[in-house]
Chains A and B, each alone.
Chain A
């Protein structure tokens, strides 16, 4: 059986990278399911950029890295995401659809349209704002229930 194909909101990925309580417990199960090929996880290219910017900034400001080390390790954060998830590159069709249905956040609209245009099985997020996007939204609880059924 082909694995389920889920778009992952960047905050799910950041829950793991930031070890953010209490969400990390569920987020890491989704990440692990991707490692185990139970799920095929997707991430938008805009999310990768955001991870890079955030990682570099936090490493410099909060974790005491030099600018050079922060840059290098932020690249490694992007690399580990690219190893784990399939990147959805934004194209004109996705952008046009997001512009038609932007909600109040263009980046969120792009993530939702990636889910819709690629006919993915769902968008895993903790953000209820996605529920009006037209994409099939899965909470972490929904996602974990589906993963459990696969086991």
Chain B
């Protein structure tokens, strides 16, 4: 099981408590809507790929295009797939 690491403690902005109080003054429906909107803003951040160090790109690159149970294409199949991809792009 993967356990999420606790985020490092950061100093809260000066107006944090003010914002919190304003949010608490909203109705339950409004707070729920706001919660969903805030979660949506986090999705791109959690999907960001870690940029590899220039000195260890191998560990980042190794098997990036593979998956268990998926047979990788041969050299000839690669050529065919690239042709197909170009055909999709250029018709």
Shortest beta-carbon distance, A131 to chain B, in Å?
A: 16
Bound CA–CA A127/B74 (angstroms)? 12
Is B20 interfacial (CB 8 A cutoff)? no
Q: How large is the interface on A (under 10, 10 to 19, 20 to 34, 35 or more residues)?
A: 35 or more
Is B78 interfacial (CB 8 A cutoff)? yes
**A residues touching B (Cβ–Cβ < 8 Å)?**
11, 14, 16-20, 24, 28, 31-32, 35-36, 50, 53-59, 62-63, 69, 72-73, 76-77, 79-81, 83-84, 126-127
Is B42 interfacial (CB 8 A cutoff)? no
If A31-B58, A57-B85, A80-B61 touch, whether A73 touches B49 (CB-CB below 8 Å) is yes
The 6 closest A-B pairs by CB, nearest first: A19-B63, A53-B85, A18-B72, A19-B66, A84-B57, A17-B65
If A54-B82, A76-B49 touch, whether A19 touches B57 (CB-CB below 8 Å) is no
Bound CA–CA A55/B64 (angstroms)? 9
Bound CA–CA A50/B49 (angstroms)? 21
Pick the residue among B54, B64, B67, B88 that contacts A17 (CB under 8 A).
Answer: B64
Shortest beta-carbon distance, A100 to chain B, in Å?
A: 23
Shortest beta-carbon distance, B50 to chain A, in Å?
A: 10
On chain A, the residues within 8 Å of B85 by CB distance are 53-54, 56-57
If A17-B65, A19-B63, A76-B49 touch, whether A127 touches B75 (CB-CB below 8 Å) is yes
8 A-B contact pairs sorted by A residue (CB < 8 Å): A16-B58, A17-B62, A18-B65, A19-B63, A32-B58, A54-B78, A54-B85, A56-B85
Interface residues of B in 1-57 (CB under 8 A from A): 47, 49, 51-52, 54-57
B57 to chain A: closest residue by CB: A84
If over half of A's interface residues share one DSSP class (helix, strand or loop), that class is named, otherwise mixed; here it is helix
B63 touches A80 (CB 8 A): no
A35 touches B57 (CB 8 A): yes
Pick the residue among A20, A35, A76 that contacts B56 (CB under 8 A).
Answer: A35
On chain B, the residues within 8 Å of A57 by CB distance are 81, 84-85, 88
B54 touches A58 (CB 8 A): no
Shortest beta-carbon distance, B78 to chain A, in Å?
A: 6
If A18-B65, A50-B82 touch, whether A80 touches B57 (CB-CB below 8 Å) is yes
Pick the residue among A59, A69, A127 that contacts B65 (CB under 8 A).
Answer: A59
B52 touches A77 (CB 8 A): no
